[in-house]
Amino acid sequence: MTLVLLTGATRGIGRAAAVELARQGVEVALVGRDPGRVSAVAAAARSASGGAPVHEHVADLTLMSEVRALAAQARERYPSIDVLANNAGAVFASRKVTAEGLERTFALNHLAPFLLTNLLHDRLGGGRVVTTSSDAHRYGLLDLGDLQSAKSYSAMAVYGTSKLCNILFTRELATRHPELCATCFHPGVVRTGFAKNENSILRIATTVAAPFLRSPRHGARSLLWLATSAETADLTGAYVVDETVVQPSLQAQDDALAEDLWERSAELAGLPADVSA
């Protein structure tokens, strides 16, 4: 039975994917930061499934200590993981740093999936790593000297840069670990809770726009395709939009930048710069 470890499983496309995976008979391990929401989505997934196991994990992935704790739990519980779906993400209206000194957007959207993937590499075998990116990456601009956005902070620009990091991470992961199928995708502009983490103009804007946005179920299609389809079993290093491989921005295709970002991310995450697992 296929096992999918899915972060960001309690809202939006994560919740839709969790329920659909369970309906297809896939064993799922759900990760969210709110215990109540994790339990609610797990119950919905169990109701949809034909008896496939549904596991629950609670972790705040803005904190690398909790990423490490999640990895330790997963390593203890699962001898192998077929698919790691790095779906957790958010946009924050204002710049704040975590208790570990990391800017929240960078920590959650990029550094957490980078660290979790590396910590679980030996459990993935020849499996798949699917990371939720966005076409917002086209409005990002990566400055390796200012990964924490200390010079200036614009919520959507910083979000876009974090999604650019997702694509560069995927490219470098595919290069360093050709035994894996590493992909990322744009889910479309989806009715979801990613901008509703605090009171802000972003929350108001997403609420007003909601009737015109893509449904979470529609947004989850590419995630499901990349995670489970036989068509994508050998696909790696690719950026996907609506189940179609497309070229990302020029900066997202910069292999030297991808390598440099990997090494800088390893340093910030407390991993060796030449980490291969």
| Cα–Cα distance, 188 to 16 (Å, whole number) | 14
Tokens of 219: 């947004």
Could you give the C-alpha distances from 222 to 217, 241, 243, 273, in angstroms and in order?
Answer: 10, 7, 5, 31
Phi/psi at 178 (nearest 5 deg)? -65, -15
> Burial letters for 192-216: b for 16+ Cβ neighbours within 10 Å, e otherwise?
bbbbbeeebebbeebeeeeeeebeb
The continuous run of DSSP H or E covering 29 comes out as strand 27-32
Q: Is 72 helix (H, G, I), strand (E, B) or coil?
A: helix
Residue 159 is a catalytic residue: yes
Contact 137, 167 (CB under 8 A): yes
Which of the residues 78, 139, 153, 159 is marked catalytic?
159
Question: Rounded distance, CA 260 to CA 257, Å?
Answer: 5
Please identify every residue annotated as catalytic.
Answer: 159
